[in-house]
Amino acid sequence: IISIPPAAGEKSNARVIDNFCEFSVSLMGNEGERKSRRWDKNTEQENMRETERSIELLIYSKQKGFTVVELLVAMAISAIVITAIYSTYLSQNKSYAIQEEVAAMQQNCRVAMEMITRDVRMAGYFGCKGDTITNTLAGSSTNDYTSAPVVGVNNDADGGNSIKDGTDQIFLKYADTSENIEVTAPYMSDTSAAIHVDDSGSLAAFDIVVISDCNHTSIFQITNISPGAGKTIVHNTGVGSPGNTTKDLEHQFMGNSFIMRLHNISYYVDTDNNLIRSDHGNPQPLAENIEDLQFAYIFEDGEEADIPDDTDADDTNDAEDVRAVRINVLARTGKVDPAFTGRRPAIEDHAAAGGTDHYRRRLLTSVIRVRNMGL
């Protein structure tokens, strides 16, 4: 082999080869580092993706359905809450029902007391009666308007009528002030059966009325009213019930004389616990669930009694001596309250009930002066 020496300034072939080898090794080393870095980066990204998938799986695993235990606990809590709400509702509903019953009972009691009080105050009013009263009505003491405008029945025990056993009854008589019919000319004589008026108002045949001019008062029953503008009120005998025993009113009524309808009112409790107001035998229920009605009478001398006594020989505690009436109205609820226990109390001379029950009750008591008695 012939070796040609390098020219001046040129490197030898061996040196070139060495340099090339070193450059190649250098290039291979740099490429390996780049590949290594790319691999590390890919590995990191893959790890991140794995972490994200793990988190997603963890979250997904938390969103799956409830267990049986969890459902049972939830149902138990719901049942407790619903039971508490329902119990509260029942309690409130029961309380409301009781309040409604009590309110209705109190209203019935007040209505009864108000009506009786008004009529007791008016008892004995027959207009401007003056000194003399003539009563032409036929019949019994129930038509005795002058001497007994207040009459009582104590603790009725007659099972044959509609009055509840053990309760009281009261009769009250007075003239109605809401309608005054003026007498006009030509004026009648005292024995005439005809009275002239401009307008008879709501009066009708067989009404019992009073006529008064402040000098004299007469009570009679109308037997007929003539039609027309100028009306005539007739009061003959032999017609109607109770009827008139005479047409003679014992006084000539002229100007300033007025005719008024008379009331003959009774109050009692029927066997169905209804308060009844009857006027001339026409009963009308006023209030329900009235269990007892009791009266006591206060007389001119201050004495009290359960009923006026006109049967004895003395002049004490007579009906004409009544000056005030003590009224006792006992009402009860329409329905029982199983949680309440009570019984009907003793009132005046009516003894208390022997046994207990579950009715709530309310007693109203009032003393009312009979302002037209003793005048």
The answer to whether residues 374 and 323 touch, using CB atoms and an 8 Å cutoff, is yes
User: What is the number of alpha carbons within 13 Å of residue 204 lying toward its C-beta?
Assistant: 1
Is residue 199 pLDDT above 70, yes or no?
yes
For 158, counting Cβ atoms within 10 Å of its Cβ (0-12 exposed, 13-18 middle, 19+ buried), the class is exposed
Altogether, the residues listed in the chain come to a count of 375
- 3-class secondary-structure state, position 13: helix
pLDDT band at 118 (very low <50, low <70, confident <90, very high): very high
Mean pLDDT on 208-213: 92
User: Which tokens sit at 43?
Assistant: 């590995």
**Confidence (pTM):** 0.73
CB-CB contact of 191 with 276 (8 Å): no
Q: In whole angstroms, what is the distance from residue 142 CA to residue 35 CA?
A: 134
> pLDDT digits over 218-249, tens only?
999 999 998 766 789 999 998 888 899 999 99
- Residue 198 has a pLDDT of 86
* DSSP annotation of 156: -
Predicted confidence at residue 347, as pLDDT, reads: 96
Res. 313: pLDDT tops 70: no
- The dihedrals phi and psi of 87, each to the nearest 5 degrees, come to -65, -40
The 8-class DSSP code of residue 36 comes to H
Tokens coding 154: 């104590």
More confident residue, 313 or 321: 321
- Spatial CA neighbour of 335 closest among 96, 90, 87, 102: 102
Measured CA to CA, the distance from residue 169 to residue 10 in angstroms comes to 159
Which residues does residue 275 pair with via DSSP β-bridges, in sequence order? 269, 287
CA angle 118, 123, 124 (to 5 degrees): 155
Report the SS3 class of residue 47: helix
Among the listed ranges 42-56, 209-223, 333-347, which one has the minimum average pLDDT value?
42-56
| 130 within 8 A of 143, measured Cβ to Cβ | no
Contacts of 27 (CB under 8 A, 6+ apart): none
Residue 1's pLDDT is 42
Give the residue from 251, 267, 270, 256 showing the smallest Cα distance to 327.
267
**Dist. CA 45–CA 187, nearest whole Å:** 132
**Could you tell me if 167 and 154 are in contact, meaning their C-beta atoms sit under 8 angstroms apart?**
no
Distance CA 156, CA 273 (A): 14
Q: How many helices (H) and strands (E) does the chain have?
A: 2, 16
Amino acid at 195: I
- Indicate the SS3 state at residue 220: strand
> Measured between alpha carbons, how far is residue 321 from residues 267, 303, 362, 375 in Å?
21, 10, 31, 11
Please state, in angstroms and rounded to a whole number, the distance separating the CA atoms of residues 219 and 211: 7
Contact call for residues 300 and 320 (beta carbons, < 8 A): no
Strand partners, 304: 298
pLDDT at 353: 92
Distance CA 182, CA 346 (A): 49
Phi/psi at 207 (nearest 5 deg)? -70, 145
Work out the average pLDDT over 293-313: 86
Asked whether the beta carbons of 157 and 223 are under 8 A apart, the reply is: no
Q: How confident is the model at residue 22 (pLDDT cuts 50, 70, 90)?
A: low
Whole-angstrom distance, CA of residue 170 vs CA of residue 319: 12
Question: What is the Cα 169 distance to its own chain's centre?
Answer: 26
Q: Record the tokens describing residue 309, joined without a space.
A: 């006594």
- With residue 102 as reference, give the H or E element that holds it: helix 68-122
